[in-house]
Amino acid sequence: MAKVLKEYVFGIGPRYPWDEWLDGQAWQLTQGSDFKCSVSTFRQTAAAHARQKGGRVRTHVKEKTRVVIQFYREANR
């Protein structure tokens, strides 16, 4: 039976350490250990987080399960 909760905290915070991964260094991340979604979904999510930080992200897929990402800001912005 349904019940009303006095309070509830949704989510558990960020799933991935985006502040760390989007620090401007090149990071190689592996599907299954560093991220759980598909590679294409991960790339899209990385791009969205980069936009929130006012920049963009370069991505390169290696061996179908590894993604290299690097955050950058455009010089003309």
Tens-digit pLDDT string for the chain (77 aa): 999 988 877 766 568 999 999 999 999 999 999 999 999 999 999 999 999 999 999 999 999 999 999 999 987 55
Determine contact, residues 57/47, Cβ cutoff 8 Å.
yes
Q: What angle do CA 73, 33, 67 make, to 5 degrees?
A: 35
With tokens 């006012």, the residue in question is: 54
Three-class secondary structure of residue 63 per DSSP? coil
Cα(52)–Cα(32) distance, rounded to whole angstroms? 25
pTM for the model: 0.78
Determine contact, residues 71/27, Cβ cutoff 8 Å.
no
Please tell me the predicted confidence (pLDDT) of residue 68.
Answer: 98
